[in-house]
Amino acid sequence: MSSDVHVHSWPCSYYLNLEKQWVPGKLTLTPHSLKFSADRTEEVLVGLPLSSITEIRKESSLFIFSAITVLEKGQAKHWFSSLRPSRNVVFNIIEHFWRELLLSQPGTAASTTSPMTRGQELVGLMASSQRRMEDTSKVLHHQGEQLDSVMRGLEKMESDLDVADRLLTELESPSWWPFSSKLWKTPAEAKTKEAVSIAACEPFGKEGVVIRVPAIVSQRTESHSKPGKLTVLVSGLEIHDSSSSLLHRFEREDVDDIKVHSPYEVSIRQRFIGKPDVAYRVISAKMPEVIPILEVQFSKKIELLEDALVFRSRARTSPAEGSCSIRHAASRLMGCNTHRELPTGGQEGEQLQLQKTWPLLSEGEAQELTQILSKLKGLALDTEAELERQDEALDGITVAVDQATLTVDKHNRRMRKLM
């Protein structure tokens, strides 16, 4: 399914060896292949699986024109030139997806030699659900820490308002009133409390990496694309270059919008008044793992554009992916050997075929699924408890804010009387 998605396409020319001429057309990259189609005939002249490529290089044709050469396993060499917006941009993106596919090759090789059973697919599906739940739990706990920080700030504000109340009482009292010496010692105590609060908050936000993926990043224009990394933190997003130097950090509250252009490409923007916005475009082969986390963390700021929505709807209706549902997991864990009722005749033969293609879970897979389900249950209970705690914290914050507002209004009236 993912191989049908176009990651990117670029205008270029391809050297047709048989006719000894350059043919203008379009170079298209998908997650698993590289294709070139001619402009005039729209015929696909080259279709290369990325797994068959052995080398990608930057070269020059006739020592003048910059080009990219792709060498495949059969020693066939393909030349692409006149690349727009630039050779470096196209090379970086193609090389990124090719390298990521090579890194995942051992797993794919194993799956081709021995086809995955339904039990293995089910274990993978449940393990993925567990990772998503853990990521969601991290974000939720960080949100709880933010609410705790707000509550600490309100408590400090309340102590400051108490100090203001005592100072106003002293100003309102007659000059001969003898009980005013202790009122000026309170700010020092407040500073001590503030120092303790700041010290407690210092480690906050320095940790909490949710996921980090290699990517191709560009700022403003596509012609400045370069290799880098995208890091999702519980407190925001970080973009680094290939040498791990920080290019920009988006605090969670500073992100104005995130647009998902495709399952492999997103853009992140932070708006400013009086100066240009900060915007980055990020392409990554691992982006399908990042997008669900961004949807949880930036639910009100993320927008799925047309290509991403089409892919998601196709993925949801895919029968291959729909076959591994959690309902089937539960029935198999209970040891139920159920067979589907077939609408037409020949049920016995087709049921035997179903039994062959749908083998029962092995004992090891059943134990692994049981462990994952117990962890998911624990995570769900922990998440429910955290949500209830945050609801109570929000109620407390609302009451504290209302009380602080009333106290400030009362102090303002007292100060106006003194003036």
Residue 191 CA to its chain's centroid (Å): 40
Domains along the chain? 2-113 (2.30.29.30), 118-204+367-418 (no CATH)
Range name among 117-126, 232-241, 283-292 with the lowest pLDDT average: 117-126
Q: Is the pLDDT of residue 179 over 70?
A: no
Q: Over pLDDT 90: what percentage of the chain?
A: 9
Q: Is the pLDDT of residue 282 over 90?
A: yes
Mean pLDDT along residues 280-293: 90
Distance CA 358, CA 328 (A): 11
More confident residue, 340 or 3: 3
Residues 196-210: tens digit of each pLDDT: 444 444 433 445 788
Q: Is the pLDDT of residue 297 over 70?
A: yes
Average pLDDT, the chain: 76
CA geometry: angle 144, 130, 392, nearest 5 deg: 20
- CA atoms 258, 261, 267, 269: torsion sign: negative
Residue pair 390/144 in contact by the 8 Å Cβ criterion: yes
